[in-house]
Structure 1
Amino acid sequence: MILALTTLLLFQLAGEIVVFLTGIPIPGPVIGMLLLLLALLYRGQLSPSLQSTAQGLLAHLALLFVPVGTGVMLHLKLLQTEWLPILVVLIGGTLITLMVTALTMSLVVYVLPDSTPTEGQSS
């Protein structure tokens, strides 16, 4: 478990280093997750230690929302005055995400060959 946690933290650190060196406006942990994904795809398998550690972290994911709730309570006055721009951005971001997802799905359906079984062919 210690080795798996160390691996996860090293990939997060690598992501932070990439962001620091390149200046790209993407959070370091996101870059670290992408690097971890690439490493796992290259390796072709997930170690049991890393899998059990990741499942343990996911089981306690709700605890990570406690600081967010505390921040909302701390900045409640600001949220009361700025609720409209926040709402517009939330709705706009959701609509943009839905449109991009629909376009991506349309492209995937167009690019991938039809995989429905034809007559005389079993599935």
Structure 2
Amino acid sequence: MQLLEALTLILSCQLAGEVLVLVSGLPVPGPVLGMLLLLAWLGLRGGVSERVAQTADTLLGHLSLLFVPAGVGVLVHWERVRDQWPAIAAALVLGTLITLAVTALTMAGVQRLLAWRRGGRHE
């Protein structure tokens, strides 16, 4: 029963995120907003319960199944992919490089913030 409650919590947060995005028109994916809602809920509750952690680990263990529809979509639209491969490759490479740069800058900023909070020691 606790497994069902944990799964209900996770999926309810995703549903709430989807509804909030639909109602408000925010330019954020519903599942991302749902994840933030789940994070807030877990923060208010004082952390992640063992059952929620187990349920999330089980879902993550089967995450590869979610790539099946994407793979089928690529095969169905293979002609389009073949015709537009330079644009797709450029988007993948540039997207990856931008993500790496933003992650590095964010980490550097967090390190500076933490060093400042510890009294100005830079590490």
Shorter-chain TM-score category?
0.7 to 0.9
Q: Normalising by the residue count of structure 2, what TM-score does the alignment of the two structures yield?
A: 0.86
Structure number with larger C-alpha Rg: 1
CA distance in 1, matches of 2:44, 2:122: 27
- CA RMSD in angstroms, aligned pairs only: 1.5
Map of 1:76 onto structure 2: 78
1:26-65 superposed Cα distances (whole Å, 9 cap, x missing partner): 1111110111011111211212221111111111111111
Identical pairs, percent = 50
Structure 2 residue 92 is matched with structure 1 residue 90: yes
Structure 2 residue 50 is matched with structure 1 residue 45: no
Q: 1:115 Cα shift?
A: 8.0
Map of 1:121 onto structure 2: none
How many residue pairs end up in the alignment? 116
Residue 112 of structure 1 aligns to a residue whose secondary structure is helix
> Which protein is richer in helix relative to its size?
2
Which segments of 5 or more consecutive residues in structure 1 lack a partner in the other structure? 117-123
Map of 1:9 onto structure 2: 11
Residue 17 of structure 2 aligns to a residue whose secondary structure is helix
Which segments of 5 or more consecutive residues in structure 2 lack a partner in the other structure? 116-120
Spell out the pairing of 1:84-123 with structure 2 (5 A cutoff). Answer: 84-113=86-115, 114=121
Residue 35 of structure 1 aligns to a residue whose secondary structure is helix
Deviant stretches of 4+, over 3 Å? none
